[in-house]
Amino acid sequence: MAQVSLRSRTVGPWAGFERKIIAAGPHVGWVRFSGQRRFNLRKSPFIPADTERTYHLPDDVELYDEELVELDVGQPLRRIGSLEKRTSMAKEFEEHYLVESVRRLTAEMPRPYLDRDDFLARLVDNWRDGESDHLDKALALQMLSCPRTPMGPGGIGTQSFDLSGRSKALDHLRKTVGVHLPVEFSRPNGRFELAFLSAREDLTALRNRIASGRVEEASYNYLKMVDPSHHPLPQHVPTILYNAHYVPRSTLPDPDILEYQLYGLLLRPVVSEEMIVRIESTMNDILEESDPAYAGYNVPFDQDALAKIAMALCRLDQKDRLTEDMLDQSRSWFKDMYRQFADLRMHYSRPGGSTRIGPEVSTSYAHLSLGPHDSEVLREIHRGVNEVGLDYVSYAGLKKALRPKKVTATQVRDSLQRLISNGLIVSRENDNLFRPVRRFAR
């Protein structure tokens, strides 16, 4: 299966924003610190930094990781790494620059070549009737992902259901996603990865990477039914093959799809406090609203599915702020996709095998996997908000309050991450302020 390597490209395919940064000159790019007041630049946030050029900050200039900047620099100092054999010619060398001034670039990056509808259509170009199964929507959400929100980690989770009766349908689905993905995104990656989960070991490894913060955004697709004893990561949308039929027209990577995905992953839409409250008001009853007869029916779609889908839709529509319109669209998409899942529920069998499930399986809609100190941390957050009257409880305050109970700072932080992931608390200010999810009366 042919895949593009972002790191190995020499003549493209380049996204529009990459072409602009490359053309801007050698001292323009995204900051990546390599030491104290020492950093490198990279031409795309998705590739390693150029270590042949190292920049040194004077004491009166401040920069932060991932800022897009243009630098004015002095003459380079060259450090020779090695010499050509039997010569005094440098074979490898580094250039070191003292930064004289910094301009932060905020100009809008070039938009992708495709528009929204073309992108969705191209995703299922190899699938006849893919749109009728909402396959275009499911693939777009997984590939565009979503950044970390106050409600939890980044990424979109899905369960694939093969109800088509066609041979190797799930293999073809995996191949479709794989050919669209850069090779770096189909393996463990600190920025974004999309994983297919077929075994318990796959799930355990990914869950550990998310919990330890080794990946910013992780989308994942269960190719076998989730066994609830495996403590699955939450799912946000179903991916259903029913009408869709695989008819390959091209097995080569589409550079326009790659450009659209890279541009989308650049965006980190802002979520206001007002929107958090709006999301919370629908978190507890979205499944019942979608289909009261089948709410909670076996598959644990996560409580923050609406927020996740809305953030992915911001990227699809190339917006940098979560709005009510995005939230309304996410509700519509979820209802469409969940309704199809509910209508086809009688075809499913048992977990751990093919993607079919029967009524003997019981998994919780709001599946919780809490650790030994999570209840204590959650109780302290509730006490601070409901008894003391704080708007948010600080991480420093939690550590102090739980120290007499011999709960360490690391244990507090681990508990907070689990409580966020399970939809019980929301965070602000880079995970330093917390409050419980507001429960709304029906």
Q: What is the pLDDT of residue 135?
A: 95
DSSP of 403-419? GGGT--HHHHHHHHHHH
Contact 357, 344 (CB under 8 A): no
Alpha carbon 263 to its chain centroid, in Å, reads 14
* pLDDT at position 297: 40
pLDDT in tens, 236-265: 888 989 889 999 888 889 999 999 999 999
pLDDT at 36: 87
The predicted pLDDT at position 264 comes to: 95
What letter does residue 247 receive in the DSSP assignment? -
**One-character DSSP codes across 102-123:** EEE--SPPPPPSS-HHHHHHHH
Share the mean pLDDT of the chain: 82
Q: What is the pLDDT of residue 38?
A: 93
Please give the average per-residue pLDDT across 88-94, as a whole number: 61
- pLDDT of 421 above 80: no
Contact indicator for 148, 175 with CB cutoff of 8 Å: no
Residues 400-417 have a mean pLDDT of 89
DSSP states of 356-375: ---TT----TT-----TTHH
3-state secondary structure of 42: strand
* Averaged pLDDT for residues 92-106: 87
Q: What pLDDT shows up at residue 86?
A: 59
What pLDDT, in 10s, does the model give residues 14-37? Answer: 999 999 999 999 999 999 999 889
Q: Are 124 and 293 in contact (CB under 8 A)?
A: no
What distance lies between CA 133 and its chain's CA centroid? 23
CA 138 distance to own-chain centroid: 14
- Nearest-5° angle of CA 359, CA 289, CA 237? 65
> What is the C-alpha separation between 98 and 116, in angstroms, rounded?
43
| Core vs surface per residue 354-387: b (16+ CB within 10 A) or e | ebbbeeebebebbbeeeeebbebbbebbeebbee
Residue 183 above 90 pLDDT?
Answer: yes
How far out from the chain centre does Cα 28 lie? 26
pLDDT tens digits for range 280-327 = 776 555 655 554 444 444 455 676 788 889 999 999 999 988 888 888
